[in-house]
């Protein structure tokens, strides 16, 4: 855990600090999105930035995702460092060509003669009955398509360091922040995402998972909101003498296979927890990587994810499909001898 | 208001007062359990709630000319339109409360109301109801039916590809579809002048060679007159129309919206003349006096109260129901025969 030092901050505050610092240091960084100026971002991702930087650099844009996200691609290819916010990851369908045929592929199609140094920030996740069109994480969708680095912070400390790195990166980075973790007044966050955050800028390299809790008996690999749910389950299981290691992936592309393998070699038991759809996704991918690299390492394996249905609205239905800490606890128990 | 009959005026008034009171009641129910610290996921109605107070005239004025066979697609702010279209109020309310007997058995919620009995659907994604409305109109044309389709959207949605592409598709095929822009000046926190050129949505029609109509105030009678012409044009096979109606956003974009971005004077503008009062004066002129209007209001309130009480008594869905309804048919499709034996199991060598 690398969150010592500094004062406590919410994840949104940490993000805003990173954006503000990069904008102060580099005139070519600017932010585009819907309701990012006067409102400060529906999920507080740009809270307070308008007063320092004005509408020219904290740009409210038409509800035309194809146009403004595509414009970010174009400005990035000119060497600027735009940050474009897609209000909900669910809205990706409106602008997918610009994301996966332009932003994600132009570097490769140009033989790396062109780079696209932009960040796509986007809000993800459910748990508040916003139903099928506003609750997805789509982690696997973005990570599946080559050409995008995919970042999913779970704490304020990570959020800041990863965002600094994202803005400075010469490649397109999709930075997916979970609404439930931001510390928004009207959507109370669980304990955990609010952490100590140093005042000064720092970067966290992509491809370095973080062991949020060390343990000897079973490895839980997860990300975003479910890092905190897994930690809650781990705390409960500790009372029963089950020692759980919790790995926060932090980035999906690149994926830190080494940290996962090292842990699994120690524990021999793996639980992968995702807030995305079960099939063709993160859980299967992580398990495959382990099995490919160390076919004999696993004595038991479980996975938890959304069971291949769109996210339902009613509370009992949504609770059924999004894994909670009890589900994680049960899955971990399943892996125990 | 020559062409609008007293019966139509009365019916629009009923729709509008029903919608207004319905949302007042929903607001009360929604806030239960969400105070003092507003928590969007708490209370009997969780999630986002987008209320349409101040928009009722567009719903009542246009839907006055529609039958159950006509299709309407609504955006994320759908209640007033659903009410005017004749969506089952009890089951819609049960859906909003997330109950098993709701329109979608609790799977959809307030932004995703579907009532096929009256051809009503909505989408929570801006402008994305436009292409399906065009499709409903296409189906009507192909089947030589007289039904029409109406797509509602906000003025914030007029720069979406889905809308602009739909205008073109409808225009080149002369499809019986009417696009209705509810212009409340604000796309959440963004004033229309900041994000749209020109800010008047009806002018988008010019570029797509179709009639564009702007109604400068939320006057249900004026909306009804314009809609009569647009719906008539569509039914007669003379193609689409784009309407834009100035309405007023009496609430935040969603419940919990602090609206700190919005000038106080703008928030108060709707009070200058409310659309329901405006229609009441038209009714007065047509001989429907305050006693009669009072009766209409009382009946509407009773219907709303009944719907809400009924909905709250309905059971919550069983958690396992979450796993149902992904498909209409079984995953295997409709095949009911065994595969032809000689082609099975040999890798296709016999083909």
pLDDT given at position A1: 43
- Chain A residues with CB inside 8 Å of B263's CB? none
Residue B43: partners with Cβ closer than 8 Å, 6 or more residues away:
B29, B30, B31, B32, B33, B34
Nearest-angstrom CA–CA distance, B58 and B232? 17
Query: CA angle, B203 as apex, B198 and B209 as ends, to 5°?
Result: 140
A62 touching chain B per CB within 8 A: yes
Are the beta carbons of A314 and B109 separated by less than 8 Å? yes
B308 in a structural domain: yes
Q: Considering only CB atoms, which chain A residues are within 8 Å of B108? A: 131-132, 313
For residues B68 and B11, give the distance between their C-alpha atoms in angstroms, rounded to a whole number. Answer: 15
Q: How high is the pLDDT of residue B346?
A: 59
What is the pLDDT, as a whole number, of residue B212? 98
Strand-pair category, A173-178 with A119-124:
parallel
Q: What pLDDT is stored for residue B343 in this prediction? A: 58
Of the listed A134, A164, A178, A228, which one is catalytic? A134
Shortest CB distance from A317 goes to which of B37, B47, B107? B107
Residue that is written with structure tokens 């499809």 in the block: B175
Measured CA to CA, the distance from residue A75 to residue A117 in angstroms comes to 9
Q: Tell whether B104 is covered by a domain.
A: yes
Spell out, as residue ranges, where chain B has pLDDT lower than 50.
Answer: 1, 351
Mutate to test the interface with B, among A61, A186, A279 (most CBs of B within 10 A): A186
Q: Are A305 and A283 in contact (CB under 8 A)?
A: yes
Select from A41, A63, A318 the residue whose CB has the most chain B CBs within 10 Å, as the one to mutate to test that interface: A63
Choose between A6 and B228: higher pLDDT: B228
B200 in any annotated domain: yes
Mode of pairing for the β-strands spanning A244-248 and A210-213? antiparallel
Q: Which residues of B touch A64 (CB under 8 A)?
A: 159-161
CATH number for position B19: 3.40.50.970
Residue holding tokens 């993000």?
A: A15
How large is the ipTM? Answer: 0.93
Contact B252, B282 (CB under 8 A): no
User: Is the Cβ of A131 closer than 8 Å to some Cβ of chain B?
Assistant: yes
Residue B35 lies in a domain: no
Buried b vs exposed e over A202-234: b needs ≥16 C-beta within 10 Å? Answer: ebbebbebbebbebebbbbbbbbbbbbbbbbbb
**For position A147, what pLDDT does the model report?**
98
What pLDDT shows up at residue B344?
54
Residues A161-184 have pLDDT tens digits of 999 999 999 999 999 999 999 999
Q: What's the gap in Å between the CA of A116 and the closest CA on chain B?
A: 24
The alpha-carbon gap from A130 to the nearest alpha carbon of chain B, in Å, equals: 5
* Shortest CA gap B249–chain A (Å): 17
Looking at residue A101, the DSSP 8-state letter turns out to be: I
Please judge whether B188 and A318 are an interchain contact, meaning their C-beta atoms are less than 8 angstroms apart.
no
Any B CB within 8 A of A324 CB = no
Tell me the two tokens of residue A164. Answer: 């600094």
Nearby residues of B2 by Cβ (< 8 Å), 6 or more positions away: none
CB contacts, 8 Å: A127 with chain B: 41
Mean pLDDT of chain B: 94
Give the DSSP H or E segment for B152: strand B149-154
Mean pLDDT over A222-246 rounds to 98
Instruction: With beta carbons less than 8 A apart as the criterion, state whether A267 and A297 touch.
Output: no
Report, as an integer, the average pLDDT of A314-333. Answer: 98
Q: Residue B48: its chain A contacts at CB < 8 A?
A: 130, 134
The alpha carbon of residue B283 is apart from the nearest alpha carbon of chain A, in Å, by: 38
Nearest CA-CA distance, residue A302 and chain B, Å = 20
The answer as to whether B337 is a domain residue is no
Q: How far is CA A284 from CA A97, A137, A270, in A?
A: 26, 16, 12
Chain B contact present for A310, CB below 8 A? yes
Binary contact (B108, A310; C-beta < 8 A): no
How many domains is chain B partitioned into structurally?
Answer: 1
Please report the pLDDT score of residue A152 as a whole number. 98
Average pLDDT score, chain A: 97
Contact criterion met (CB < 8 Å) for B107 and A133: no
- A178 counts as catalytic: no
8 A C-beta contact, residue A267 and residue A227: no
Q: A150 - beta bridge partners?
A: A174, A253
Residues of B in contact with A67 (CB under 8 A): 159
Are B109 and A313 a contacting pair at CB < 8 A? yes
Distance, in Å, from the CA atom of B330 to the CA atom of B326, rounded to the nearest integer, reads 9
**From the candidates B77, B91, B100, B107, which should be mutated to test the interface with A, based on the most A CB atoms within 10 A?**
B107
Residues B319, A319: C-beta atoms closer than 8 Å: yes
Contacts of B319 in chain A (CB under 8 A): 316-317, 319-320
Whether residue B36 is contained in a domain is answered as no
* B346 is a domain residue: no
3-state secondary structure of A116: coil
Q: What proportion of chain B, given as a percentage, has pLDDT over 70?
A: 94
A56 touching chain B per CB within 8 A? no
* Band of pLDDT at residue A4, cut at 50, 70 and 90: low
3-state secondary structure of B89: helix
Q: Contact, B120 vs B114, CB < 8 A?
A: yes
Residue B101 resides in a domain: yes
CB A42 within 8 A of CB A91: no
Please state, for a pLDDT cut of 70, what percent of chain A lies above it. 98
pLDDT given at position A3: 47
* pLDDT value, residue B2: 61
Q: Tens digits of per-residue pLDDT, B27-66?
A: 999 999 998 889 999 999 999 999 999 999 999 999 999 9
Catalogue all structural domains in chain A, each as residue range(s) with its CATH number.
Answer: 7-197 (3.40.50.970), 210-334 (3.40.50.920)
- Distance from C-alpha of B47 to C-alpha of A24, rounded to nearest angstrom: 37
Looking at chain A, which residue has its C-alpha nearest residue B327? A309
Tell me the pLDDT tens digit for each residue of A20-56: 999 999 999 999 999 999 999 999 999 999 999 999 9
Q: Is B195 close to A60, i.e. CB distance below 8 A?
A: yes
Domain residues for the domain of B322 are: 6-29+44-331
Closest-CA distance of chain A to residue B184, Å: 15
pLDDT digits (tens, 9 = 90+) for B240-260: 999 999 999 988 899 989 899
Segment A87-106, tens digit of pLDDT: 999 999 999 999 999 999 99
Q: Is the Cβ pair B196, A62 closer than 8 Å?
A: yes
């Amino acid at each position: 855990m690398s969150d010592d030092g500094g004062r406590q901050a919410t994840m949104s505050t940490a993000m805003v600090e990173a954006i503000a610092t990069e904008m102060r240091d580099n005139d070519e960084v600017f932010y585009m999105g819907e309701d990012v100026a006067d409102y400060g971002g529906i999920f507080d991702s740009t809270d307070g930035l308008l007063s320092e930087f004005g509408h020219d650099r904290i740009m409210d844009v038409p509800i035309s995702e194809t146009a403004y996200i595509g414009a970010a691609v174009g400005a990035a290819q000119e060497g600027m460092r735009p940050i474009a916010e897609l209000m909900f990851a669910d809205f990706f369908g409106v602008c997918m060509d610009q994301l996966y045929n332009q932003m994600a592929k132009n570097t490769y199609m140009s033989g790396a003669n062109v780079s696209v140094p932009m960040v796509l920030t986007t809000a993800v996740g459910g748990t508040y009955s916003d139903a099928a069109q506003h609750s997805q994480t789509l982690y696997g969708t973005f990570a599946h398509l080559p050409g995008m680095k995919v970042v999913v912070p779970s704490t304020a400390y990570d959020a800041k360091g990863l965002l600094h790195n994202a803005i400075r990166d010469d490649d397109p980075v999709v930075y997916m922040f979970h609404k439930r973790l931001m510390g928004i007044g009207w959507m109370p966050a669980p304990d955990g995402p609010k952490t100590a955050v140093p005042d000064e800028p720092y970067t966290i390299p992509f491809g370095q998972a973080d062991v949020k809790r060390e343990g000897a008996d079973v490895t839980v690999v997860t990300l975003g909101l479910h890092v905190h749910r897994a930690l809650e389950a781990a705390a409960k299981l500790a009372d029963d003498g089950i020692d759980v290691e919790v790995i926060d992936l932090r980035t999906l592309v690149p994926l830190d296979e080494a940290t996962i393998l090292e842990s699994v070699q120690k524990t021999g038991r793996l639980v992968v927890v995702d807030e995305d759809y079960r099939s063709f996704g993160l859980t299967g991918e992580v398990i495959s990587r382990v099995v490919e690299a160390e076919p004999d390492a696993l004595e038991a394996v479980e996975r938890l994810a959304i069971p291949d249905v769109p996210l339902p609205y009613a509370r009992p239905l949504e609770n059924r499909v999004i894994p909670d800490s009890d589900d994680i606890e049960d899955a971990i128990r399943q892996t125990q001898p | 208001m020559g062409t609008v009959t007293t019966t139509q005026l009365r019916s629009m008034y009923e729709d509008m007062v029903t919608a207004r009171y319905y949302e007042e009641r929903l607001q009360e129910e929604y806030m239960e359990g969400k105070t003092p610290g507003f928590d969007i996921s708490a209370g009997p109605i969780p999630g986002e709630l987008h209320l349409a107070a101040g928009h009722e005239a567009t719903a009542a004025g246009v839907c006055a000319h529609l039958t159950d066979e006509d299709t309407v697609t609504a955006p994320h702010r759908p209640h007033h339109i659903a009410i005017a279209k004749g969506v089952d109020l009890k089951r819609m309310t049960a859906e909003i409360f997330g109950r098993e007997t709701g329109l979608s058995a609790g799977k959809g919620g307030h932004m995703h109301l579907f009532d096929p009995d009256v051809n009503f659907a909505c989408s929570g994604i801006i402008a994305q109801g436009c292409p399906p409305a065009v499709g409903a109109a296409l189906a009507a044309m192909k089947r030589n039916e007289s039904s029409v389709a109406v797509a509602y959207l906000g003025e914030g949605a007029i720069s979406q590809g889905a809308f602009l592409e739909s205008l073109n598709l409808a225009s080149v095929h002369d499809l019986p579809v009417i696009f209705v822009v509810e212009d409340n000046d604000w796309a959440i926190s963004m004033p229309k002048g900041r994000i749209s050129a020109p800010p008047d949505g009806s002018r988008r029609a010019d570029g797509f060679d179709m009639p564009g109509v702007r109604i400068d105030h939320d006057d249900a009678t004026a909306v009804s007159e314009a809609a009569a012409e647009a719906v008539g044009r569509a039914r007669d096979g003379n193609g689409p129309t784009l309407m834009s109606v100035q309405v007023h956003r009496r609430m935040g974009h969603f419940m919990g919206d602090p609206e700190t971005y919005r000038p106080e004077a703008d928030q108060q503008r709707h009070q200058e003349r409310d659309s329901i009062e405006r229609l009441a004066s038209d009714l007065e002129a047509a001989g429907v006096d305050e006693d009669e209007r009072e009766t209409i209001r009382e009946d509407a309130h009773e219907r709303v109260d009944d719907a809400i009480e009924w909905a709250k008594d309905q059971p919550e869905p069983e958690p396992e129901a979450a796993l149902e309804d992904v498909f209409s048919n079984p995953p295997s499709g409709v095949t009911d025969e065994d595969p032809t034996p000689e082609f099975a199991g040999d890798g296709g060598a016999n083909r």
